[in-house]
Amino acid sequence: MAAPPFSVLAMLRFILTRVSLIIPTFIGITLLAFFLIRLVPGDPIETLAGERGIDPVRHEQLRKEYGFDKPIIVQYGIYLARVLQGDLGKSMITQEPVLNEFSALFPATIELALCAILFALILGLPAGIIAAIRRNSIFDHGVMGISLAGYSMPIFWWGLILILLFSVQFDLTPVSGRIDVLYYIEPITGFLLIDTLLSDEPEAFWSAVRHLILPTIVLGTVPLAVIARMTRSAMLEVLGEDYIRTAKAKGLSRFRVVALHALRNALIPVVTVIGLQIGVLFTGAILTETIFSWPGVGKWLIDAIFRRDYPVLQGGALLLGVVVMSVNLLVDLAYGLINPRIRHTR
Amino acid sequence: MTTETMEAPAVASPTATPPHPLREFWGYFSANHGAVAGLVIIVAVVLLALLADVIAPHDPNITNTTIALKPPFWQEGGSIAYPLGTDPIGRDILSRLIYGAQLSLLIGIVVVAISIAVGTVLGLVAGFFRGLTEIFIMRLMDIILTLPSLLLAIVIVAVLGPGLMNAMLAVALVILPHYVRLARAAVITETSKDYVTAARVSGAGTTRLMFREVLPNCTAPLIVQASLGISTAILDAAALGFLGLGAQPPSPEWGTMLADAREFVLRAWWVVTFPGLAILITVLAFNLLGDGLRDAFDPKLKR
């Protein structure tokens, strides 16, 4: 049976297969979050109630409510049902639902992560392309050396060094936070760069930008290194292909060959790598947000650990896991759409 | 008679013997200057760690508030007795870094050893038994890979309690999937080869096939991954230490030193600069070594 070049059926099957593959992953993540509370030494109700303790009547009531008197598999079922309804418990400190706290803080993390990936792309793609075209030149060696250093960078230290340089030495950028305390910006989208533009205080926008610079560089460093290396090797591979030789032989300009013929094909693996960097970004965000006191979900999670706020830790880890899982799925689907070869392998 | 004359040229003359595999390997490896530099740095760090008692000028834990926050020797107020300065409670930074090298190497080696031991067994089992066992193991590994690595490590440490031992266990679990995947992939490619069939036909049991026949043939990628794994382990353990979840003060672990000194960043640049530099250099060295090993094991890829 000859596969048609574009068939809705094949596409549908591809999408369904990929979507169904995430179900075990989702169950795994919920199992992990479920057992997390039970692995903490001591009684889970007391763990959830915190250090203040709890009176026996309420204890018994909660035991029933959470189903701790039932078999473990039933308990998991109850937990899963709650999660699917969006009930991730309440923070022990603020008594706010975990989901609300997460969605209030998540835009700050996304804003930082988007800026970081943009920074990495703007520098990483051209660096990788030029390094590939001028293979073995000083530029090539320089880019590869710097990117290996970037890849090996302890970003929590990198952040401190940048603060030392730019904030302490030259007084160019603020040390921490998202915006100067003088501004109060009504959260409309949650993204300060947009919200400040919507407000009538142009100064606030620049304040937000200045606060973003260092965290963006810190969080973008590892993706930048990875993207530059990946772009270079993908370009090198493509530049050796026959169709590039054909294009050159046809007398096309060097720019045309590189920009149109080579880059388009080299970008496919690069797109995947960018997708896979999303998980790395969230990991980095935890460290970056801690250094710069950036009010996002990473700092929130770390604070939760030290406050022994287990519902926040449990719910936050679950939500972050689900976000990364969904992004990976989207990348996977996008990859299938760009590259028909992938779509037809199954 | 004719067979003898036919065979004669087939016997290789002694002058044409190929170079010893190790020599050939070294030839490829030493051509890569970065890899050699990485190896030299690693040897230096290992020597520092082993000879810490002899080399370190001071006890890493002796505090002396009268000499707190002394700058490095080349700055005004510094002294050659404390070459890289002292920390907020007067401990010599150079000595702490040297003792910290012991910890970082220990972390790297223990973490990767645990991961390789557990990972290869899981991978071999998945590759040999296929079916449900394989699906279960590989799905589990996919889940670990899906979660951001440091997030998973943080969650594990938060549950088990902060400390160097728990941090190492957490990082070992986080890097486990790489080894499982490697071992499984090796099994799947190797089991279809003739030598495995020959061993099987001559009556070798599954355990023997797994560990004596197939495993030795996938050591090259495992060694490469081990070198890269050590760098990840050192980096992640330092990150956990920095977040206060790894080694606890007064341990001279580099990440913990950074966390300790963080609030002094505005007053004393040296207390944060040197521990981080130590992490960066060591991690970079292991990455250089790993890259070099990969190219040397697979020269075809390079040329």
Q: Residues A113-127: pLDDT tens digits? A: 999 999 999 999 999
Going from the N-terminus, what domains does chain A have, and what CATH number goes with each? 26-87 (no CATH), 102-345 (1.10.3720.10)
- pLDDT class for A63, splitting at 50, 70, 90? confident
> How far is it, in rounded angstroms, from Cα A32 to Cα B23?
48
- pLDDT class for B16, splitting at 50, 70, 90? low
> How far is it, in rounded angstroms, from Cα B217 to Cα B189?
10
- The yes-or-no verdict on residue B103 having pLDDT over 80 is yes
Give the pLDDT of residue A132: 92
- The yes-or-no verdict on residue A345 having pLDDT over 70 is no
What's the predicted TM-score (pTM) here?
Answer: 0.86
Helix axes B33-50, B93-129, angle to 10 degrees: 120
Give the pLDDT of residue B142: 82
**Cβ-based contacts of A280 with chain B (< 8 Å):** 148-149
Q: Which amino acid is at A101?
A: E
**Cβ-based contacts of A317 with chain B (< 8 Å):** 147, 151, 155
For B65-88, what is each residue's pLDDT tens digit? 888 888 898 888 888 888 898 888
First to last CA, chain B: 45
Give the pLDDT of residue B237: 93
For the record, the structure tokens of B280 come out as: 């960066």
Give the pLDDT of residue A341: 64
Who contacts A210 (Cβ-Cβ below 8 Å, separation ≥6)?
A173, A174
For the record, the structure tokens of B78 come out as: 């510094």
> How far is it, in rounded angstroms, from Cα B188 to Cα B119?
15
Q: In B, what residues contact A, Cβ < 8 A?
A: 34, 139-140, 142-143, 146-151, 154-155, 158-160, 231, 235, 238-239, 242-245, 255, 258, 262, 265-266, 269, 272-273, 275-277, 279-280, 283-284, 287-288, 291
Poorest-confidence range of A128-137, B77-86, B163-172? B77-86
More confident residue, B207 or A63: B207
SS3 B17: coil
Helix axes A138-151, A202-239, angle to 10 degrees: 120
Give the pLDDT of residue B9: 47
Residue B101 sits at φ, ψ, to 5 deg, of -60, -40
The minimal CB distance from B143 to the residues A25, A284, A302 is found for A25
Give the pLDDT of residue A198: 79
- Provide mean pLDDT across the span B112-130: 92
Helix axes A202-239, A263-292, angle to 10 degrees: 140
**Cβ-based contacts of B140 with chain A (< 8 Å):** 28
- pLDDT class for A220, splitting at 50, 70, 90? very high
Chosen for mutation from A25, A31, A156, A164 (greatest number of chain B CBs closer than 10 Å) is: A156
Q: How far is B237 from chain A (nearest CA, A)?
A: 11
**For residue B217, how many other CB atoms are within 10 A of its CB?**
14
Q: In A, what residues contact B, Cβ < 8 A?
A: 24-25, 28-29, 32, 36, 39-40, 145, 148-149, 151-154, 156-158, 160-161, 163-164, 168, 279-280, 282-284, 286-287, 290, 301-302, 305-306, 313, 317, 320-321, 324-325, 328
Q: How far is A171 from chain B (nearest CA, A)?
A: 12
- pLDDT class for A154, splitting at 50, 70, 90? very high
**Cβ-based contacts of A145 with chain B (< 8 Å):** 34
More confident residue, B48 or A205: B48
* Residue spans of alpha helices (H) in chain B: 2-7, 21-30, 33-50, 52-55, 93-129, 131-146, 149-160, 164-190, 194-201, 206-208, 219-242, 254-261, 269-297, 299-302
Which range, A101-110, B17-26, B126-135, is most confident?
A101-110
Who contacts B290 (Cβ-Cβ below 8 Å, separation ≥6)?
B224, B225, B227, B228, B231
Give the pLDDT of residue A346: 43
Task: Quote ipTM for the complex.
Answer: 0.85
More confident residue, B65 or A160: A160
